[in-house]
Amino acid sequence: MSSSSSASSRLTNRRSVYGVPSRCWCGRNLVTYAAQTKDNPFRRFYRCAVALQRQTEEHLFKWIEEALVDETIMVERKHLSLVDEVKELRGKMVEKLELEERMIRKMVDERVKEELEEVKAKMKEEMMMAAETLQKMAREMAKTSMQKVGITLLVVGTIACICGKLMG
């Protein structure tokens, strides 16, 4: 194989690949090979089988460690993007939950006020009925008391009359 340096893999073909490649420009699957050069002994790289036979054509070439570094950078960027998204979603969820909590509290307060007004109205009605009942009872008791006083006066008057006739 040729004595390509790591810089050459980044500047090679008319098209560049970032990360771990899956196919060559020609559409063939890639194979990993080990370099057999003095500058890069046993250094592993991606290449398609056609490129080994047709070395004058521009087929994909990429050092494996460069591809893995690219992949690591892409994963780290994606990770940071996802972290930012999660933070943003979390903030939105907190806002939404706070809004819902305020709405629920408002609904509960309104319902409590309604219930309180209903209870006050019922208590007022019951107190009015109790007052009427007490007034009726007081009148009945007054009637009964007057009747007892009248009967007592009648009995006392009758006794006085009998006593007056007996003594007189």
Q: 164 vs 70, which has greater pLDDT? A: 70
Say if residues 13 and 25 touch (Cβ distance below 8 Å). yes
Question: Residue 28 is encoded by which pair of tokens?
Answer: 């063939």
> Residue 3 corresponds to which amino acid?
S
- pLDDT of residue 54 exceeding 70, the answer is yes
Q: What is the pLDDT of residues 89-98, one digit of tens each?
A: 999 999 999 9
Confidence at residue 157, expressed as pLDDT on a 0 to 100 scale: 85
Half-sphere exposure of 108 (CA within 13 A, CB side): 6
Q: What is the pLDDT of residues 15-25, one digit of tens each?
A: 578 888 988 88
Question: Residue 95 is encoded by which pair of tokens?
Answer: 């806002």
Residues 20, 22, 23, CA angle at the centre, nearest 5°? 130
Q: Where are the alpha helices (DSSP H) in 12-63?
A: 49-53
Hey, how many other C-beta atoms are within 10 angstroms of the C-beta on 17?
21
Confidence at residue 110, expressed as pLDDT on a 0 to 100 scale: 95
Q: What is the pLDDT of residues 61-72, one digit of tens each?
A: 899 999 999 999
Say if residues 17 and 71 touch (Cβ distance below 8 Å). no
What SS3 class is residue 36?
strand
